[in-house]
Every structure is written in structure tokens, then in C-alpha cells.
Structure 1
Amino acid sequence: MSDLHIRCAAPADIDTVLRFWREAAEGTSISDDRDGVARLVARDPDALLLAERDGRIAGTAIAGFDGWRCHLYRLAVHPDHRRQGIGSALLAAAEERFLGLGGRRGDAMVLDRNEPAHHAWHAAGYAPQPQWSRWVKHLTD
């Protein structure tokens, strides 16, 4: 994996990331737009991790920390690059960031219907928590 480079996204990456998510991510979110990603990058420039191979995005992860909990979102690997350790490398980078910030537990949002991703999360040591329900409210229409 010496040809894989992980770095933080910059404002210039936003449009490329959005195109990547449309192709590689399972489902979309209300915040998957230019303004939403720009706010993320401006507020926490180290949160959006990009895995690049040959100068192109091969995977992404958002590693957000609110000062109390560590949250993982948008772990996505391009279909042509899956099962090559990119997701694991992104999770390792996210966990390194969390530990550096004093985080002690990572919570991940994983779609129930995205069964292929469940294997990757289990392999990385994450487990579903059926006793907790996640409730979501969209704050804008």
C-alpha cells in the first residue's frame, strides 16, 4: 500500500469529493452538497480524510470529534479499489486522530442495508449496538 496517500481535504477538493461520493458511497445525505462539505472543512480542517492513489480519490472518511465523542461518517471506497485495505487505512488514520485529540470511543453511522460494509467495520473492531437507537431530525427542509 505504499502507493496510498492519506491526507486531509482542502476547500479545493470539495467538488471532487462530492462526485466521488455519488459514485462510491452508499446513499446520500441532506448535507452532501457544496455548502455542507465547505462548512465541515472550514470548521474542522482535519476531519475529512482522503485516501489517494495515483492522484485520484480512492476512499474517504469523516472523523469528527466534538470534544466528548468520536464520530465516523462517510467511510467510502471506490468500487475499483475495494478489498485492498483502503478502508482499514482510513479507519486507522481516523483512530490516530481521535487518540491525539483525547477521544476514547468511536461511533460509526453504518446503514443497515449496506451489508458489504458490515464486514469491513467488524474487521476493524467495530460492533453494532442494537440497544441504542439513532434518532435523526433534519434541521432544514
Structure 2
Amino acid sequence: MADVAIRTAVPADVDALLAFWHEAAEGTSISDDGDGVARLIERDAEAVLLAERDGVLVGTVIAGFDGWRCHLYRLAVHPDARRQGIASYLLEAAERRFVALGGRRGDAMVLDRNERAHHAWRAAGYAPEPQWSRWTKLLAR
């Protein structure tokens, strides 16, 4: 994706991230506030990955690693930029981060009702675990 750049979030991105998630993400979380997002960026500056096209935010994913498991949150693509491979591009960047950190499996919490997201996760090689609302994928090493 030559026209899309991936970078990590910085504290100055907090307000733009919250506005973006309000528009592009399905549902909200109790941690969707400036303090929570700023705390995440401060704790793990490389966890929040942003996709930008011509300097405009078009996608996000949080790629958290706790030292044992890899967790994916807030995969979101702007409605005008969907079905262009941006979600897959973000997930590839997240997986590279996980492998570099020693991670072996990516977990994602995905809303059961979000069928559009199910397609994106399947296309990226993730599969639902019926006993959980979690999708997983073993990562290549």
C-alpha cells in the first residue's frame, strides 16, 4: 500500500483518535476517553498503530503485548476507506510487532453483531473461538 503510511500514535493524537473511533468504530468502550488513551500511549508508545493517507487518519489498531499474549483492539477503518486493504495492512504491521516481541498468537475481541468486521478478520487469517468472543491466529516466527 504505497499510498498508506503506518505510524505509532503520540500524545498529540489522542483527540483525533477519539473522534475517529466515534465515527469509524463499531461501539464504544468505557476506556474511550482522553485519559485512558493517553495512558495507553504513555505506557506502550508502539501499541497504537495509525494508518494515514496523505496525512489523514484512515485506520487504527491497538496491538498490545503483555509479555505473554498478543491482543488486538480497535481495528477500525474510516467508512470512506473500507474494502481497500487498510485493515489487512494494519494487522500485518501489528503481527510484525508481535513477532519481534516474541509473541506467538494474536487474540482479538470482535463484536458478535459486527458481520463486516468478521469478514475482515477472516480475510486476515483469524478464526473465531466458539467458546469466547475472541478470534485468534498463530503467528509465523
TM-score of the aligned structures, taking structure 2 as reference length: 0.93
What is the number of residues matched between the two proteins? 134
Secondary structure of residue in 2 paired with 1:84: coil
Give the whole-Å Cα distance in 2 for the aligned partners of 1:130 and 1:25. 23
Q: Which residue of 1 aligns with 2:37?
A: 37
Partner-residue secondary structure (3-state), 1:128:
strand
Alignment CA distance shift 1:10-1:116 (3 Å): same
Runs of 4+ in 1 over 6 A off after TM superposition: none
User: How far does residue 131 in structure 1 lie from its aligned partner after superposition?
Assistant: 2.3
Deviation string 1:36-68 (CA, Å, 9 cap, x unpaired) is 000000000000000000111000000000000
> Following the alignment from structure 1 to structure 2, what is the Cα–Cα distance between the partners of residues 23 and 53?
17
Letter in 2 for 1:47: A
Runs of 5+ consecutive residues of structure 2 not aligned to the other structure: 135-141
Mapped to 2, the partners of 1:79 and 1:28 lie a distance apart of: 16
- Give 1:138's aligned residue: none
Higher strand share: 2
**2:5, 2:51 within 8 Å by CA — same for their partners in 1?**
yes
Amino acid at match of 2:117: A
RMSD: 1.0
Unaligned runs of 5+ in 1: 135-141
Secondary structure of 2:96's counterpart equals helix
Length-normalised TM-score, structure 1: 0.93
Identify the residue that residue 138 of structure 2 maps to in structure 1: none
Partner in structure 2 of residue 120 of structure 1: 120
Cα deviations across residues 54-84 of structure 1 (Å, max 9, x unaligned)? 1110000000000000000000000000000
Q: Aligned partners of 2:13 and 2:36: how far apart in 1?
A: 13
